[in-house]
Chain A
Amino acid sequence: MTAREAVLRALRSGRPEGVDLPEGAPPAEAASYRQALHTDAVRTFCGRAEELGVRVHRPGAPEALLAVLTEVCRDRRVYVEPALGWLAPALERAGARVVRWEDLPEAEVGITVADYGLAETGTLVLLAAPERPRSGSLLPPVHVAVLPEDRVLGDLFDLWERVDDLPSALTLVTGPSRSADIEMSLAVGVHGPGTVHVVLVSAGLLEEATRAPAK
């Protein structure tokens, strides 16, 4: 008998009284709390993220977006994930040294898209894809995430309604990397980035910016 058969046989030998699986929707008791989350999700997101030490930027125009990124990236080695490849020329012109994928371990800044934001916890949701490698938001000590405002959801219940076909890796990022293992004193940037910037953009702005650097 294989281990698989042995385990399954044991589990079938004494089925206990079971209860039905509860529905997956949020519990009724959460209704007013969740409604408050949804009424001003973007502002709640910003507040919760800033509490954790995340620096939130809200540029209103393509020039402002570039100015924010330039401020963070000037004179630094920067990895830009392929999904945002159009940013690279503008960043180079602004004085950043854009590095190739192979040199990612030496990058000082990683710029990525964030697919969703969660207001309740100030969380970024990152979905892995060919043009969205996992390491871009992980290896460099500074992570810059570009998040479209209309992608800010309330909480995890909202997220699972939108994402059910999972990529190879879905990562929730809530603030900078930290540890309190030594005497409970907070140390940031343990293995992941110690500095996290979120650049919140309107959907229109992102589109405009995509075209702008081509000029």
Chain B
Amino acid sequence: MRPTSAGFKDASARAVHDPALREAIVRVTGSLGVRRAQVTAELPHFDALRDRAKRIKEHTLAHLDRYLEQLEEAVRSRGGHVHWCRDGEEAVGCVVRICREVGARVVAKSKSMVTEELELNRALVQAGMEVVETDLGEFVVQLSGDRPSHLIAPIIHKRREDVAELFSRHLGTPPDAPVQVLTAAARAHLRRAFLRADVGITGANFLVAQTGSVVLVENEGNARMVTTRPRVHVAVAGLEKVIPRLADLAVFLPLLVRSATGQRLSVYVSLLSGPRRPRELDGPDAFHLVLVDNGRTRTWLDPDLREALQCIRCSACLNVCPVYERAGGHAYGSVYSGPIGAVVTPALAGGRGLLDLPFASSLCGACRDVCPLRIDIPRMLVALRARASAAPQARWERRLARLAAWVLQHPTAYRWASALGRLGERGLRRSRWLPEPLRAWAQARELPRLSSKPFHRRVRP
């Protein structure tokens, strides 16, 4: 996973000054948030499900080795193949090899964040294959050479007019076509791809250790298509997706779907267990499960960040985050955006680069409150901040903090500092005279006026 930009700060600066983007994000996150609140309130036991899910995840992650082995055994016993991959390079190589071995020319994909993380499409195209993204949003992303900007609503940043213009160039629809016409055009175009594809590639929302099943949650039907029509199905999944039993799906599916889209259940949930059986008319002849580590065991070994592996990618935290709302998903420079992205991205990258992502939060805690797994995102952001400020780049910050600590411990110094502050604040209000970086800092803030008589002198004259 390569971060796209130098950092969150620069990337978000543009988004903050784009009112159309802000409006688009608020429309989507707002309506998802309202529906989520309605359908979660409908279940008197919603919080009990959250507690249950949390315990299942804690248990499963504590015994991850055992559950992965059980999963592998169950997949094999149903005629499937399991491939373990340490990093992105191994995973991509593995998928390319499977596709080559079956002589694939056309590969149809359903929406999968982990394959975005691995940048799988690029490798498949380089290997000479035609890759078709079949989720409507991801199809638009692919046609426009863009990146998804929300976990479940990948083109939240695009207007209907943008899509209409794109489709008129590529699919020949009228330049002012309404949504239903655009959808119909994509359906017709992608239907041909489904029927031509040799290999179907999906992610996995869950992996059931008990039965060796891949669970796919979707609304459009494209995941059903890519796991039904092509000869080969390849599921790519992070190690952390495993859950122990079928019965656990009665806990996780309502949590995921109600938190994600505010539906009671998504339109299609597929449980796929191995390739087609004898005498079955359709379904793939071969099934491959590609288990991807790519930083997950490292995250697992890190007590501060292990909790991030409990995430089921529902995106509820994005939809309530004031920073995501203003910065947009692209600013996070990673396929995983929003509050959980600010944790997962540096965690998977092993702390390399991305030093400013954990600062992309006001620590208001809305993400933790709304998370179906009650993941303590602010706690992890603070832990990551502590690491970032220990980095050599943060030398000046550390010196300033030490100076502040000293001033606060010495009354005389404190009195001098507040007197200086009353002088200095006038300068900060005339920000255009200031040198950078003080100028940028002062321009975006309105400081309350310091009182001419400080509080401690009023209570103790």
Q: Taking beta carbons and an 8 Å cutoff, which residues of A are in contact with B? A: 2-4, 6-8, 10-22, 24-30, 32-33, 48, 101, 105, 118, 120-123, 128-130, 133-135, 138, 155-157, 159-160, 163-164, 166-185, 187, 189-193
| Residues on B with beta carbons closer than 8 Å to the beta carbon of A21 | 55-56, 59-60, 244
Q: Which of A24, A29, A155, A184 lies in contact with B44, CB distance below 8 A?
A: A29
Q: Enumerate B137-179 residues with CB–CB distance to A below 8 Å.
A: 137, 140, 153-155, 158-160, 163, 179
Beyond A182-B163, A184-B28, whether A166 also contacts B213 by CB under 8 A is: yes
| Residues on B with beta carbons closer than 8 Å to the beta carbon of A11 | 64-65, 68, 297, 300
Chain A residue with minimal CB distance to B274?
Answer: A168
Q: Which of A8, A13, A177 lies in contact with B68, CB distance below 8 A?
A: A8
| B69: interface (CB < 8 Å) | yes
Find out whether the CB atom of B220 lies under 8 angstroms from the CB atom of A174. Answer: no
Find out whether the CB atom of A174 lies under 8 angstroms from the CB atom of B44. Answer: no
| B414: interface (CB < 8 Å) | no
Would you give the shortest CB distance from A96 to chain B, in whole angstroms?
21
- B272-314: CB near A (< 8 Å → 1, else 0) gives 1111111111110000000101000110110100100000000
Q: List 16 A-B contacts (CB under 8 A).
A: A3-B85, A16-B303, A19-B58, A24-B248, A26-B250, A33-B44, A133-B281, A168-B78, A168-B272, A168-B280, A170-B271, A181-B136, A181-B140, A187-B183, A191-B225, A193-B221
Chain A residue with minimal CB distance to B194?
Answer: A191
Report the bound CA distance from A8 to B300 in whole Å.
12
| Residues on B with beta carbons closer than 8 Å to the beta carbon of A156 | 249-250, 253-254
| Residues on B with beta carbons closer than 8 Å to the beta carbon of A172 | 265, 268-270
Q: Which of A25, A177, A187 lies in contact with B267, CB distance below 8 A?
A: A177
Q: Which of A20, A105, A174, A191 lies in contact with B266, CB distance below 8 A?
A: A174
Report the bound CA distance from A170 to B69 in whole Å.
23
Find out whether the CB atom of B136 lies under 8 angstroms from the CB atom of A190. Answer: yes
Q: A10-B298, A24-B247, A192-B220 are in contact. List 18 more A-B contacts (CB 8 A).
A: A7-B86, A22-B56, A22-B59, A24-B245, A33-B44, A101-B281, A130-B277, A135-B281, A171-B224, A172-B270, A174-B268, A175-B267, A177-B220, A177-B221, A178-B219, A183-B179, A191-B194, A191-B221
| Residues on B with beta carbons closer than 8 Å to the beta carbon of A26 | 45, 250
Find out whether the CB atom of A19 lies under 8 angstroms from the CB atom of B267. Answer: no
Would you give the shortest CB distance from B198 to chain A, in whole angstroms?
17
Find out whether the CB atom of B247 lies under 8 angstroms from the CB atom of A190. Answer: no
Report the bound CA distance from A173 to B217 in whole Å.
11
Report the bound CA distance from A32 to B43 in whole Å.
11
| Residues on A with beta carbons closer than 8 Å to the beta carbon of B63 | 15, 18
| Residues on A with beta carbons closer than 8 Å to the beta carbon of B31 | 184
| Residues on B with beta carbons closer than 8 Å to the beta carbon of A16 | 61-62, 303, 306
| B73: interface (CB < 8 Å) | no
Report the bound CA distance from A48 to B42 in whole Å.
13
Chain A residue with minimal CB distance to B213?
Answer: A166
